[in-house]
Amino acid sequence: MTKQDHNQQVNDWLSAFDSALGVCNVSEVAELFEEDSYWRDLVSFTWNLKTMEGRGAITEMLHARLSDTKPSNWVLQGDATHADGITEGWLTFETAVSRGKGHLRLKGDKAWTLLTTMVELKGYEEKKGASRESGVEHGAWQGRKNWLERRGEEDADLGYSTQPYCVIIGGGQGGIGLGARMRRLGVPTIIIEKNEHPGDSWRKRYKSLCLHDPVWYDHMPYIPFPDHWPIFSPKDKLGDWLEMYTKIMELNYWSSTTCSSATYDDKAGEWTVKVNRGGEEVVLNPKQLILATGMSAMPNVPEFHGAECFRGDQHHSSKHPGGDSFRGKKCVVIGSNNSAHDICADLWENGADVTMVQRSTTHIAKSDTLMELALGGLYSENAIKNGIDHHMADLVFASVPYKIMHSFHIPVYEQMAERDKDFYDRLKKAGFMLDFGEDGSGLFMKYLRRGSGYYIDVGASELIADGKIKLKSGIAIKEITENAVKFSDGSELPADVIIYATGYSSMNGWAAQLISQDVADKVGKCWGLGSDTAKDPGPWEGELRNMWKPTHQDALWFHGGNLHQSRHYSQFLSLQIKARMEGISTPVYGIGKVHHLS
């Protein structure tokens, strides 16, 4: 079959699809899908992030949403491609109120996967390109104000004489990127951040920290990194970028500000958010509240018997200042994920005596191998050479339904295990307990399921293999004494310093602290897919719990994830908020039940 034939195959399907949709013939639409098919919708049809799994679920969604959505104008963009019996194509389409992009995978004349994503709301498009602002009004009139004066007025008024439509708690990369999207959509927004400057949440972390994800994966919306930006951003350099970005995007960024409480008035449809801005108490009344405190905002420290009696320094990994002051000290790092490894290496580089306590198996992926095998096809120089920029890569990524994503990943990690066999053997020989995920699907599935359980190796694993970082593995901690960590087998490790690299709790813990335990419980656990694997209990959810989509608490939203997710999903969160601000009807389809509280 030729390229034209594949284009024809997609066009035929789209034409049938469009016709059936146009006359609201749901069963005819359903017939165009395989029995075992997936329709992932990001806002366009469902005002939700939702994957319909199977023909039945697709039918049900269309019965609820088709007449209202009024989809039309399905057009293949570029050429379809074909490999391994699957024909793929990029689409554009419209609904009554929006324009969208989509992606289709056909098996013969039936759809296997369909992705529909909202790009913009009609009549409320971002002002960019040809519709950008002039910057100056030509002509002359008395009393004209310039840009600086107008910015100054906005800064002085917003949160005082005028109220923001939206408040974002947390001004890390997530809050900043989302804030930029709000600015471009004209949604008056204030970002609340406890640190003094944008970027400080990175700057204040341990000295050796660099991003573990590569630059092609990490772009912020609208202003990509220049092409000399290092592959792995050093934390302070990233901090500078975020600070610049906040300024250039003209965000209303309240630094040195903490939030003490937030309550929602159902009747008024409005939040009361109490903040302390550099010593001044301010009450904000936004219509929408977004917690962008990140996946890593609620430190999780297990309660170890006797820990309160420990005489040395003990702190959570998030507070680790860097190894400079621990030269010659006996340091015990409890945990074996990314932070634990980074901190162990940092301590060793600074001449400390370091032991890692590994309590359960860990997935290790060598950075270079991960870049090449897992990310290289979408996020790399090579991808760019093949015409895949990060915008397209994000959509490709989004086009794979979570339900079957592991099956795409398992072969990649089999290849990884093979390629780096010597490395893994040496680690095992040193006593390190390895895994590749319960189903062998590796790092990213672990990240989606539980947000933990892995280390992207940038050097610490060799130190463990060599015994330079000592290892205590496969054993439970019994208690902590004045000067040691004691284990269940009776052994003990003398310690001057204990670092708890024990991860973070679900983001709804932040809602408990800020709003109420009731609201936190009503909303339930954030993140995870319900895969019924370790730390991701079932039932199956189909999408990440509570992230970037409506929750069971009106006007409360959660935003977070890595730089890639924050960049891409802030698009959908910002459009949901903008639609509400403009009074567009946004009936939410298929909001999930809460199965877990945290």
Phi, psi of 67 (to 5 degrees): -65, -30
Residue 236 as a binder of a copy of itself (CB under 8 A): the answer is yes
Residue in 226, 387, 490, 583 binding a copy of itself, rule: CB under 8 A: 226
User: Least Å distance between CB 200 and a copy of itself?
Assistant: 13
User: Least Å distance between CB 216 and a copy of itself?
Assistant: 10
Return the number of the residue (45 or 206) whose C-beta is nearest a copy of itself: 206
Packed helices 173-185 and 563-581: angle between N→C axes, nearest 10 degrees:
40
Residue 494 in contact with residue 330, Cβ under 8 Å?
Answer: yes
Amino acid occupying residue 134: S
Residue in 85, 141, 280, 429 binding a copy of itself, rule: CB under 8 A: 141
Looking at residue 348, the DSSP 8-state letter turns out to be H
Question: Would you give the binding string for a copy of itself spanning residues 284-323, x where CB under 8 A is met?
Answer: ----------------------------------------
Return the number of the residue (23 or 140) whose C-beta is nearest a copy of itself: 140
Contacts of 470 (CB under 8 A, 6+ apart): 353, 354, 355, 356
Region of 137 (left: φ > 0; alpha: ψ -120 to 50; beta: rest) is: beta
69-128: which residues touch a copy of itself (CB under 8 A)?
126-128
Return the number of the residue (246 or 565) whose C-beta is nearest a copy of itself: 246
Question: Would you give the binding string for a copy of itself spanning residues 344-363, x where CB under 8 A is met?
Answer: -x--xxxx------------
Binding residues for a copy of itself, rule CB under 8 A, total 62
Residue 207 as a binder of a copy of itself (CB under 8 A): the answer is yes
Which pair of structure tokens corresponds to residue 67? 């007449």
Residue 160 as a binder of a copy of itself (CB under 8 A): the answer is no
Question: Would you give the binding string for a copy of itself spanning residues 405-444, x where CB under 8 A is met?
Answer: ----------------------------------------
Residue 223 as a binder of a copy of itself (CB under 8 A): the answer is yes
Residue 3 as a binder of a copy of itself (CB under 8 A): the answer is no
Rounded CA separation 554/18 (Å): 34
Which pair of structure tokens corresponds to residue 69? 């959505």
Task: Mark the segment that binds a copy of itself (CB under 8 A) among 8-16, 226-234, 549-557, 574-582.
Answer: 226-234
Residue 469 in contact with residue 344, Cβ under 8 Å?
Answer: yes
Single out the residue of 492, 559, 570, 501 nearest to residue 527, CA to CA: 559
Rounded CA separation 107/462 (Å): 45
Phi, psi of 23 (to 5 degrees): -105, 15
**Exposed, middle or buried by CB within 10 Å (0-12, 13-18, 19+), for 433?**
middle
Provide Rg for the chain, Cα atoms. Answer: 25
Task: Mark the segment that binds a copy of itself (CB under 8 A) among 168-176, 240-248, 414-422, 500-508.
Answer: 240-248
User: Least Å distance between CB 368 and a copy of itself?
Assistant: 7
Residue in 307, 384, 396, 410 binding a copy of itself, rule: CB under 8 A: 384
DSSP, collapsed to helix, strand or coil, labels residue 252 as: coil
Region of 467 (left: φ > 0; alpha: ψ -120 to 50; beta: rest) is: left
445-504: which residues touch a copy of itself (CB under 8 A)?
457-460, 462-463, 468
Q: Which position has the token pair 């204040």?
A: 204
User: Which positions touch a copy of itself (CB under 8 A)?
Assistant: 126-130, 132-136, 138-144, 146-148, 151, 184, 207-208, 210-211, 215, 222-223, 226-237, 240-241, 244, 247-248, 345, 348-351, 367-368, 381, 384, 457-460, 462-463, 468
